[in-house]
Amino acid sequence: MTRSFLTLGDLNREELFEIFQKALKLKAAIKARKEIFPLKNKVVGILFEKPSTRTRVSFESAAIRLGGHAIYLSSNDLQLRRGEPVKDTARVLGGYLDALVARVYDHRTVEELAEYSGITVINALSDIAHPTQAVCDLLTILEVKGSLDGLTLAYIGDGNNVCQSLLECCALAGVNIVAACPEGYHPKAHILDNALRIAEKSGSRITVVDDPTEAAKGADILYADVWVSMGEESEKEKKMKAFKGYQINADLLSIAAKGALVMHCLPAYRGLEITDDVIECPQSIVWQQAENKTHGAAAILAFFMDSE
């Protein structure tokens, strides 16, 4: 059966940990320059409606390193730009490709691509979710800490796509998460409810608060995302005001647990959501986090494409 990865709801806990293990194995094999071909003769399309450095290149590189091929498809260069419906595009691409990694504005687009293409569709970021980011982030924490048990992650910022996937992924993995978001920028109620439901099984504590200091106090990981997401540029001024105070800086780090890790999905805007001294400090694991996007991508491709 063809399976897609649109949100963390598409994985159970065992499968999430299987992907972590697969990623660590593939990372070791890639570092040892071993030849590995789980995607031999497979063609992966990378269809993006928005810019990307990490997600695009990490998936392209992963597909190639696993023996497959990657084709980058900017939505601007497809007939989509001239109004060809998503469902028609999906049915056509389904005949050419074995999987499609898609970054879209509206989450409904990845759902439609999955519904009509008949191939594995991987959500590379939508307005609702960034599931591959969350999987790769928890992979990095697991790699650094050796275990996820008993950890608390404090997310500081906008309760949108990255935060929402972290809530669900932490709930699945059994990691406690406190999200501090300004009023008007809390995660969507149905996603929070979903995370709380998943957490009933894993035992993780899921909380959303207004105050960044309440979230950061004693946390093992401080996590930032940009204040102004792609496509929200017209709201920049309003968001700058709303997010003032939601910055990961030395003061916030000083109240976290001793040796707390600092993470950021990137791209980072130094002086806004994070200060330069904190992103560059020894506790910052952002570059390892960014590198692991390709090892996580490799495991996600191998896992979902194998399930066909």
Task: Give CA angle at 68 (62, 69), nearest 5°.
Answer: 90
Residue the block writes with tokens 């149905």 = 190
Determine if residue 263 is labeled as part of a ligand binding site: no
CA 52 to chain centre: 13
Candidate residues 4, 7, 55, 292; the one interacting with ligand CP per rule CB under 6 A: 55
How many residues line the site for ligand CP (CB under 6 A)? Answer: 9
In the bound state, the residue with its beta carbon closest to ligand NVA is 229
Candidate residues 4, 7, 109, 133; the one interacting with ligand CP per rule CB under 6 A: 133
Residue the block writes with tokens 């608390």 = 152
Determine if residue 25 is labeled as part of a ligand binding site: no
Closest approach, Cβ 217 to ligand NVA, in A, equals 24
Contacts of residue 234, defined as CB under 8 A and 6 or more positions apart, other chains included, come to none
Comparison of 151 and 224: residue with beta carbon closer to ligand NVA: 224
Give the pair of three-digit tokens for residue 285. 């694991």
Among 198, 206, 217, 199, which residue's Cα sits nearest to residue 255?
Answer: 217
Binding mask 239-278 toward ligand CP (x if CB under 6 A, else -) reads --------------------------xx------------
Give the pair of three-digit tokens for residue 32. 């040892």
Among 254, 304, 250, 238, which residue's Cα sits nearest to residue 100?
Answer: 304
Binding mask 79-118 toward ligand CP (x if CB under 6 A, else -) reads ----------------------------------------
- What letter represents residue 10's amino acid? D
Candidate residues 4, 132, 152, 160; the one interacting with ligand NVA per rule CB under 6 A: 160
Q: Which residues pair with 126 in a beta bridge?
A: none
Comparison of 125 and 167: residue with beta carbon closer to ligand NVA: 125
Comparison of 133 and 199: residue with beta carbon closer to ligand CP: 133
Comparison of 160 and 174: residue with beta carbon closer to ligand CP: 160
Residue the block writes with tokens 């982030």 = 137
Comparison of 114 and 124: residue with beta carbon closer to ligand CP: 124
CA 251 to chain centre: 27
With contacts defined by CB under 6 A, name the span among 47-55, 86-94, 113-121, 188-196 that binds ligand CP.
Answer: 47-55
Q: Does 126 bind ligand CP (CB under 6 A)?
A: no
- Do 178 and 209 meet the contact criterion of CB atoms below 8 Å apart? yes
Candidate residues 58, 204, 229, 292; the one interacting with ligand NVA per rule CB under 6 A: 229
With contacts defined by CB under 6 A, name the span among 21-29, 52-60, 67-75, 249-257 that binds ligand CP.
Answer: 52-60
Q: Which residues of 143-158 are buried (b: 16+ CB within 10 A; e: fewer)?
A: beeeebeebbbbbbbb
Comparison of 66 and 125: residue with beta carbon closer to ligand CP: 125
User: What CA–CA distance (Å, rounded) separates 27 from 1?
Assistant: 27
CA 59 to chain centre: 12
Give the pair of three-digit tokens for residue 144. 């650094």
Comparison of 124 and 299: residue with beta carbon closer to ligand NVA: 124
Q: Does 53 bind ligand CP (CB under 6 A)?
A: yes
Residues in contact with ligand CP by the rule CB under 6 A: 52-56, 125, 133, 265-266
Binding residues for ligand NVA, rule: CB under 6 A, are 125, 160-162, 225-226, 229-230, 265
